[in-house]
Amino acid sequence: MSISLWLLYLSVITVLIITPGPIAVLCMSHGAQYGKRKSLATVTGGMFAALTLMLASGLGLGAIIMASETAFWALKLCGAAYLIYLGIQTWRAPLVIKAQPVEQNTSNKSAYRLLRSGYLVGIGNPKDLLFFGALFPQFIVAEQPLFEQLAILAITWLVIDFSLMFAYAVLGNHLISALQRLGLTRIFNRITGGAFMVAGGALIVAQR
């Protein structure tokens, strides 16, 4: 892979990942509810989802999904349903106790459940579905070994994805602390829950 092609890939995925979407909202929400360290599981789940889509794209499955109207709509509807479910859960979530530091929140939400949430939101993320189904194969040179190229592309994605999604989690953690001081914690639940539900509804009506 040439350095120019890699730099183009780097710039494209940075813009793609940093653009707010369902997984970014989820990382912010979990950073606020469970603290920065626990939200690492959410970030990791999203990274595993991206790796799944990347592997599928590298094996040619992404093109099949993009070509199949039924498969594409099934993924969209499942993703939309899960986003709406998350929105309702977040909207109804209990307030973080004001007297308790967010990072020491004693919620019993397991790391596995946070990782699973990150994976399920990531695997149905419309931005990633479109990218890995249509654009990602353009960065693979057919004449060069596939494994080495996928390794470079995957490592690059994971570094950028981890950095930016964890930054969203940290932002959510600091934001909820500020809202706690103002006694406005419930607003965060309403905003993030509403964002999930809007994203789910938009995903249902959005065209390819």
Of the listed ranges 29-43, 46-60, 124-138, the least confidently predicted one is 124-138
**Maximum mean pLDDT: which of 26-35, 128-137, 159-168, 179-188:** 159-168
Mean pLDDT rounded to a whole number for the chain = 78
pLDDT in tens, 18-41: 887 888 888 988 998 888 899 999
Residue 203: which pLDDT band, with cuts at 50, 70 and 90? low
Judge whether 39 and 27 are in contact, CB under 8 Å: yes
| Residue 39 CB coordination number (10 Å) | 28
Q: Where are the domains of the chain?
A: 22-205
In this predicted model, what pLDDT tens digit does every residue of 148-178 receive, in sequence order?
888 999 999 999 999 999 999 999 888 877 7
* Predicted local distance difference test score (pLDDT) of residue 125: 77
